Amino acid sequence: MSLKAFQYAESFALQMDGQDPLRGFRDCFFIPEQNGKPVVYLCGNSLGLQPKQVGEYIQKELDTWAHLGVEGHFQGENPWVYYRKRSKHTLASLLGACEEEVVAMNQLSTNLHLLMVSFYRPQPGRYKILTESGAFPSDQYIFESQTRFHGYDPHDAILEVAPRPGEHILETSDILDALDRHSSELALVVMSGVQYYTGQRFDMRHIAAAARQKGIPVGFDLAHAVGNVPLSLHDWGVDFATWCSYKYLNSGPGNVSGVFVHQRHAKSFDLPRFAGWWGYDELTRFEMKKGFKPMPGADGWLLSNDNVLGLAALQASLDLFLEAGLENLTKKSEQLTGYLEFLLHQVTNGKNILEVITPKDPASRGAQLSVFVHKGGKGLYDKISASGIVCDWRNPNVIRIAPAPLYNSYEDIYKFAVALDRALAASD
């Protein structure tokens, strides 16, 4: 649907909801309430809502534990020794990967460190990391501490590509130019897939291709990309990636992350890595012998035995993704975010109060719009929040609004616009 066809009217939003083939999925989620009424939840970029079936999935493993105790590792419907394997099918399809390239484990920051142990191999003269400026703080601390760990000065070893003066988003050509200019000194290229602050989706395909062509390992932090935008990590030739599952993947606060390691490294057993027993060849693991023998593929990066209760919650959500289909979700996501963009323009009516800094091209963003508030600042955000809207505020003056196609409706977007309209009128 073209932008022109959208309307700022409740009847229009309800009509769109009536025609939405995914509308039933909203009922699969608990929607939080404020003053006895369901909120308009537009914060799936921070913490996705709870699928109603999460309790049942976890309860099943609690029952196995209650009835079988330690035998649950090998008995019951989903023996715990192999529990993580349940998630591989859907994770692989969300990431555009083969099953052996992905595994759910640990948390994001831990995983990024572990992957950098393998893929950040600095040498004299070639020790720098290329990344985006304003990366998520955890990533910045990881890059800093990794360069220091190898004996380099982070100020010298970390190269950040920044937006041009007066702009908020990065030009792909500037990223590729920097990669080209510094190629002889780069030991690693690592960026977000979707930038947490601006909502910009980077051109992962071209960045990966350019890095690969220069022989530089390339990785992505997909915290804001997984379950949000289509990914083809295998075909793009990305070396490694990691993500968290509590944002668009709705697995619950702080829940299990995952890693992708490209197939070409599946049997690179001499790649340095920090090892643990769960990464050991599973056929002979319980012989408990000395001498680490990694499993092929991403599983060779596992350390610990599976966090079954966390994985059960993740599975409940992945099963909904599988049922809905990523292609359908992407289609709806573009429409919903397009509708949000349209209504933001309608409400501000050409006045310079708000500025969407997220790219306009749907191929360069996902479900999130980041809005610079030129007038009213945090007060405006507080007014919107008081009227039952959940989105988030990032200093100095950005509101992030993220319609998640699994559970958000066109009516949600309409209600957000009405709340914003009233808040702006009250601030005049």
Sites of contact with ligand PLP (CB under 6 A)? 107-109, 136, 138-139, 192, 196, 221, 223-224, 244
Least distance (Å) between residue 140 CB and ligand PLP: 10
CB 261 within 8 A of CB 301: yes
48 HSE (CA, 13 A, CB side): 35
How many angstroms separate the CA atoms of 51 and 25, rounded? Answer: 9
Least distance (Å) between residue 310 CB and ligand PLP: 12
How many angstroms separate the CA atoms of 116 and 364, rounded? Answer: 27
In sign, the C-alpha dihedral spanning 343, 349, 354, 358 is positive
Using DSSP's 3-state secondary structure scheme, residue 34 falls into strand
Least distance (Å) between residue 47 CB and ligand PLP: 10
Bridge-based pairing of strands 102-104 and 258-261 is antiparallel
Least distance (Å) between residue 244 CB and ligand PLP: 4
For ligand PLP, give the closer residue by CB, 357 or 423: 357
For ligand PLP, give the closer residue by CB, 64 or 317: 317
For ligand PLP, give the closer residue by CB, 20 or 139: 139
Maximum separation of any 2 CA atoms in the chain, in Å: 73
For ligand PLP, give the closer residue by CB, 113 or 375: 113
DSSP H helical segments within 182-307, as ranges? 204-213, 233-236
Report the chain's terminal Cα–Cα distance, integer Å.
34
How many angstroms separate the CA atoms of 216 and 209, rounded? Answer: 10
Least distance (Å) between residue 108 CB and ligand PLP: 4
How many angstroms separate the CA atoms of 318 and 246, rounded? Answer: 12
For ligand PLP, give the closer residue by CB, 46 or 93: 46
Least distance (Å) between residue 111 CB and ligand PLP: 8
How many angstroms separate the CA atoms of 78 and 88, rounded? Answer: 14
Least distance (Å) between residue 269 CB and ligand PLP: 27
For ligand PLP, give the closer residue by CB, 245 or 348: 245
For ligand PLP, give the closer residue by CB, 108 or 419: 108
